[in-house]
């Protein structure tokens, strides 16, 4: 009897029984980092990842809060090895993923990687279907901290079942790994994602244009404002440790500086992950200034974790409002017109009530100090109307404090 009991204990220790669990408190605020796909796609290698880690330190991204460096699709060989393991392409990653993770960790940063719930990834490399536990253990042994888990070549699979399998495998492997659910919003992951992963994509892939759709026939790429417009009434499902993911950012990838600033502003307001997608090695000073603006990042990382809502339209100027901790507020006035607009906003005429949560503000009876996020200047209080000229596709973004 004692020998049987000892054997059962060994089984439990070696093969833990895991049901319905994910690692908790990995993302109390939205993840921040960089992903290789938007700029490099298949043209990735370990030197690029090392360079990005060095630039995180050198150019202020780490100090601004970015800490994940995520390798997207095309990192592996096209076949598993004889034991069924994924193999990092030795031409791209000659020292292997463990050594690369060690280097990234030595910088005080974290390493992410990519896989797919189907038989193959979107680029045709081996997927994790049927290998969930094996892949999770491999990623854990390498020191991976973040997994972007895609949904290509998944015919006949159920999203909740597939993402639950990888969640349970990651938990059983024992290393806390953030799970990014990337099924493009097709099965409303905001309704079920929080029990499974730390963030979930709400759309197809982003593209670097302000307000367009690029139709490829079998799929579409979405411009910045098209993604913002795509989903209504999902903010109530997001919050600490479970975030609506509006996709990787296109700041620095060909839009105007004002459009980049607007893109970053609205991503901060929406409490989505701030995952950079540009080539940081050649980023302009203007791009770096946008991505490392600590006042804007603080709005995204506010511990209250409430996503902004669109309060009203004033002609083609949208007014976005985000409750913050300590009864503070973020307000973003966004000009969608193809010409400049003149804003005259009388605070005292506005009583703002959050449509999903119990936050409200009556500017007639409450006074706030105003910080302009992008100029860094304090600009009076809400006792006086706000007057500003907003250039094409630009924003006025403010933090209000008592």
- Give the pLDDT score at 20: 59
The pLDDT of residue 247 is above 70: yes
Task: Return the DSSP state at 87.
Answer: -
- What is each CA distance from 402 to 40, 366, 367, 368, 380, in whole angstroms? 45, 8, 6, 5, 12
- Any domain includes 30: yes
For residues 178 and 262, membership in a common domain is answered with: yes
- The CATH number covering residue 338 comes to 2.60.40.1180
- Any domain includes 5: no
- Any domain includes 12: no
Q: Determine the average pLDDT of the residues in 12-23.
A: 54
- The CATH number covering residue 133 comes to 3.20.20.70
User: Which domain covers residue 83, as residue numbers?
Assistant: 18-300
Residue-wise pLDDT for 177-210, tens only, equals 999 999 999 999 999 999 999 999 999 999 999 9
For residues 242 and 361, membership in a common domain is answered with: no
Tell me whether residue 205 is one of the annotated catalytic residues.
Answer: yes
Q: Catalytic residue, from 116, 168, 205, 247: name it.
A: 205
Number of Cβ within 10 Å of residue 190's Cβ equals 21
* Structural domain total, the chain: 2
- Any domain includes 370: yes
Tell me whether residue 150 is one of the annotated catalytic residues.
Answer: yes
For residues 359 and 252, membership in a common domain is answered with: no
For residues 270 and 326, membership in a common domain is answered with: no
**Per-chain mean pLDDT for the chain:** 95
For residues 245 and 275, membership in a common domain is answered with: yes
For residues 207 and 259, membership in a common domain is answered with: yes
- Any domain includes 3: no
Q: Mark which of 273, 300, 327 sits at the end of a domain.
A: 300
How would residue 12 be classed by pLDDT, with cut points 50, 70 and 90?
Answer: very low
For residues 62 and 157, membership in a common domain is answered with: yes
For residues 108 and 208, membership in a common domain is answered with: yes
The pLDDT of residue 358 is above 60: yes
Q: Mark which of 300, 323, 345 sits at the end of a domain.
A: 300
Q: Catalytic residue, from 72, 73, 135, 150: name it.
A: 150
Write out the H or E segment, with its range, that includes residue 344. strand 341-345
Q: Which of 11-15, 149-153, 249-253, 304-308 has the lowest mean pLDDT?
A: 11-15
| SS3 label, residue 291 | helix
- Give the pLDDT score at 19: 47
For residues 202 and 343, membership in a common domain is answered with: no
Q: Determine the average pLDDT of the residues in 261-275.
A: 98
Q: Determine the average pLDDT of the residues in 220-242.
A: 96
For residues 333 and 199, membership in a common domain is answered with: no
Any residues with CB less than 8 A from the CB of 187 and at least 6 apart, and which? 159, 160
For residues 115 and 191, membership in a common domain is answered with: yes
- Any domain includes 274: yes
Q: Mark which of 277, 300, 323 sits at the end of a domain.
A: 300
- What is each CA distance from 211 to 138, 200, 223, 266, 322, in whole angstroms? 41, 22, 5, 13, 22
- Any domain includes 2: no
- Any domain includes 257: yes
For residues 252 and 321, membership in a common domain is answered with: no
How would residue 15 be classed by pLDDT, with cut points 50, 70 and 90?
Answer: very low
- What is each CA distance from 89 to 5, 76, 117, in whole angstroms? 44, 5, 20
């Amino acid at each position: 009897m004692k020998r049987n009991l000892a054997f059962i204990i060994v089984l439990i220790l070696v093969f833990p029984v895991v049901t319905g669990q994910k690692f908790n408190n990995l993302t109390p605020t939205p993840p921040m980092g960089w992903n290789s796909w938007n700029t490099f796609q298949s043209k990735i290698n370990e030197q690029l990842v090392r360079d990005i880690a060095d630039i995180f330190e050198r150019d202020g991204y780490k100090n601004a809060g970015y800490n994940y460096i995520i390798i997207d699709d095309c990192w592996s060989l096209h076949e598993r090895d004889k034991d069924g393991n994924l193999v990092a392409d030795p031409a791209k990653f000659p020292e292997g993923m463990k050594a690369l993770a060690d280097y990234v960790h030595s910088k005080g940063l974290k390493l992410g990687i990519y896989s797919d719930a189907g038989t193959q990834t979107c680029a045709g490399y081996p997927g994790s279907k049927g290998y969930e536990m094996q892949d999770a253990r491999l990623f854990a042994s390498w020191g991976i901290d973040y997994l972007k888990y895609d949904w290509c070549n998944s015919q006949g699979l159920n999203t909740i079942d597939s993402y639950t399998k990888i969640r349970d495998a990651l938990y059983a492997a024992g290393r806390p790994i953030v799970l990014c659910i990337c099924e493009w919003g097709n099965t409303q992951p905001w309704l079920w994602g929080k029990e499974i992963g730390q963030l979930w994509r709400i759309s197809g892939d982003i593209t670097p244009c302000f307000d367009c759709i690029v139709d490829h026939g079998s799929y579409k790429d979405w411009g910045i404002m098209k993604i913002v417009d795509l989903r209504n009434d999902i903010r109530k499902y997001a919050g600490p440790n479970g975030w609506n993911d509006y996709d990787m950012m296109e700041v620095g990838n060909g839009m105007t500086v004002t459009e980049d600033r607007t893109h970053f502003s609205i991503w901060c307001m929406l409490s989505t992950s701030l995952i950079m997608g540009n080539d940081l090695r050649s980023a302009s000073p203007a791009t770096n200034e946008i991505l490392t603006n600590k006042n804007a990042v603080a709005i995204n990382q506010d511990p209250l974790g409430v996503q902004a809502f669109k309060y009203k339209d004033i002609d083609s100027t949208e007014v976005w409002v985000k409750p913050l901790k300590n009864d503070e507020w973020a307000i973003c006035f966004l000009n969608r017109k193809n010409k400049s607009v003149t804003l005259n906003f009388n605070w005292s005429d506005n009583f703002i009530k959050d449509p999903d949560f119990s936050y409200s503000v009556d500017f007639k009876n409450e006074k706030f100090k105003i910080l302009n996020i992008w100029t860094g200047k304090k600009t009076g209080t809400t006792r006086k109307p706000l007057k500003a000229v907003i250039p094409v596709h630009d924003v006025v973004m403010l933090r209000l404090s008592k």
